[in-house]
Amino acid sequence: MSGHALFLTVAFLLCAAECRLVQAWKKSYVVYLGAHMYGRDASVEDHARATESHHELLGSVLGSKQMARDAIFYSYTKNINGFAAYLDEEVATQMARHPEVVTVMESKMLKLHTTRSWDFMDMERDGQILPDSIWKHAKFGQNIIIANLDSGVWPESNSFSDEGMEEVPRRWKGSCSDSAKYGVPCNKKLIGAKYFNRDMLLSNPAAVDGNWTRDTEGHGTHTLSTAGGRFVPRASLFGYANGTAKGGAPRARVAAYKVCWSGECAAADVLAGFESAVHDGADVISVSFGQDAPLADASSFFHEPVTLGSLHATIHGASVVCSAGNSGPFEDTVVNAAPWVTTVAASTVDRDFPNQITLGNSAHMKGMSLESSDLHSDKLFPVINASSAALPNCTVNLASSCAMGCLDPGKVKGKIVVCVRGGDIPRVMKGMAVLSAGGAGMILANGEIDGNDVEADPHVLPATMITYSEAVSLYKYMASSSEPVANISPSKTELGVKNSPSVAAFSSRGPSGTLPYVLKPDIAAPGVDILAAFTEYVSPTEVAADKRRSEYAIMSGTSMACPHVSGVIGLLKAARPEWSPAAMRSAIMTTARTQDNTGAPMREQDGKEATAFAYGAGNVHPNRAVDPGLVYDVTPNDYFTFLCSLGFTTKDLSRLSAGKFACPAKPPPIEDLNYPSIVVPELRHTMTVNRRLKNVGRFGTYRASWRAPFGINMTVDPTVLVFQKTGEEKEFKVTVTSQKDKLGRGYVFGKLVWSDGVHYVRSPVVVNALD
């Protein structure tokens, strides 16, 4: 190589290294400017002018419009005014100080919150639709449009068949935009499919599996079919939960917006999905993902894409339903806590998939599983603790968790292996590790922190999961015997399980540290062992080595609870098209129930009585929600006033409302937002909270009754409300006063009920008395 060529090569490598260094300092940011002055019917020219204004704004900081064009990868021009760009921190800081900018949000990753349920909610019984079912009132959600922001859709599923459906509503502006081979086609059921991956391609390009809306993970297909899938008979997962798979609004139209890739959802992609769904004409937007942890406080409210996107959706009349998160059972873990979204916790249904362990001392213990193979029923197999079968290259901890490649085949072959839950190893992978080492079966044992929370998984070998108390008994037996033996029976589907529903242990709990003035979650819905459609791209275990495929899968999470409520709100939209998103949320909350199928109060999965921080207003009861009598309605201006009370300025609100709103000179107390629940997070002796009820039924007289939280004196004024026409609104006040001798108990819980003898309008009352 000549000296000149060597110089050029070195210069090129140094330049490339320097370019990568500069690139490494840049991140994705969303620059939020508020709302546009124009509406949904704006012209192409309007959108083009908005894009040009974004180039000019960023160009004024970068130095040229061309540099701005190169940096911007999304220009939000429909209902959200702003753009997403790849910037260094200094430029982002300058943009945040610009007088035209409301906020600058660093794009961060959000996480996915990963049939029998409709029967359990009394919408049918033994396969027969009941006379008072909301399905009949709402014509099964006919022509309502449900959008799902998630990991895409598997369009070949029978849940999205358009057989017998009428033409697509003319108001729909969406489309199926995939151009890739094996992209998602539209039909009269699945009327929209779009993907958004520009932010993810910049942040983590390896996560993007293609420029398409096809679901390669299963999560999006499962959630979308739960919300709006058709009736599909003979659906099951490897024979379990056999029956008819149903979506909440089976005659609704559905649209998939793929904003999540490999289990993560980049903020700028999420915001683009929201904007598109609103502009396309969605009535309901279902969101089964969120941040890992709650926002620090309300000052960072608009640094999170779901909060921002959902506000614009609500302003334009679309209902947004979100999962509460899977970080339970710990308090202050609930996410997606904005008051304009309906936040959903996960509860159980009255169905289990139990199997039985028989020990050599004839003792029995109950487990849970969806295994697809079983052991010989007339034989007992040797049992070994995985920690006793560690290979020399693995630690005891790794071996006890049954990490792949850590078990000694010579010690586990033909035996049932006891693995410890956790260790950041997927549960099904533990079974695969046992199987690959020659094990005959697996018992997955909970640790103390896991308690009674057991999951039914589609294992690849005979297996079961047991509670911590059962695990303790198992260890005692193994320690007492020189040759411990056991057998695992095949699993079965068991219906009519008592003390159902209970709150799932994984479901995130309130209070919301971000916004303690609003009770979150709002409502609970089935989210444990839910059967719904699935992708056939991967196995239901999502493990690459598992070659099994199924059109339907059983999954658990608040991700599964969320679309149940999305489907119910779709039905309410069809039955009561004049209701606002807030009115529909109120109807669901005030008609919820807080008792299980034995008449006892709803409980946690460990048997303790649950509170409103676990289930919100209670477990959803769709048939009641269609006729609630009264609702707590909230307008966009009410939300704007609430933001003023939080400390946002008239300047901020003017941009949010496109110049149509200004903060009042003296904003009301934050607690006065007209929400269906009442929370006083910092009671100092006495406080009065104001509420307003709207009549959505016939005229009548409603009387108040209440149960004050422990240690709190509570009064309601007036105690009688007389409604003479539909749409009439009446105000009332609730005053709570602390009892000095009963302080220091933290949050305490009560309730308020308005009734005309037919309707019962229930609201949780939650108080934290400080003095």
Residues marked as catalytic: 150, 219, 559
Strand residue runs (E) in 282-434: 284-287, 289-290, 319-323, 342-347, 351-352, 354-359, 364-368, 381-385, 416-420
Contact assessment for residue 633 and residue 692, using Cβ atoms and an 8 Å cutoff: yes
Query: Could you give the CA distance from residue 341 to residue 647 in angstroms, rounded to a whole number?
Result: 20
Cβ atoms of 678 and 671 within 8 Å: the answer is yes
Among residues 731, 751, 591, 613, which one has the least CA distance to residue 672?
731
For the CA atoms of the chain, what is the radius of gyration? 27
Identify the H or E element spanning 502. Answer: strand 502-503
Helices (H), 553-685: 558-575, 581-590, 612-615, 622-625, 636-646, 650-656
Q: Tell me which DSSP letter residue 664 carries.
A: -
Instruction: Please name the residue that has the structure tokens 């992708």.
Output: 535
Q: Select from 693, 688, 435, 381 the least CA-distant residue to 543.
A: 435
55-58 contact pairs (CB < 8 A, 24+): 57/31, 57/33, 57/98, 57/100, 58/31, 58/83, 58/85, 58/95
> Which tokens go with 401?
């968790």
**Which residues face 601 on adjacent strands?**
595
What CA–CA distance (Å, rounded) separates 140 from 170? 19
Residues β-bridged to residue 128: 125
Helical spans, DSSP H, in 173-218: 198-203
Residue 769, SS3 per DSSP: strand
Quote the crossing angle between the two packed helices 636-646 and 305-315, to the nearest 10°: 140
* Nearest-angstrom CA–CA distance, 350 and 340: 31
**Spatial separation of the C-alpha atoms in residues 291 and 310, rounded to whole Å:** 15
Q: Where does residue 621 rank: exposed (0-12), middle (13-18), buried (19+ CB within 10 A)?
A: middle
Which residue type sits at 61?
V
What is the rounded CA–CA span in Å between residue 492 and residue 507? 25
Q: Are 299 and 102 in contact (CB under 8 A)?
A: no
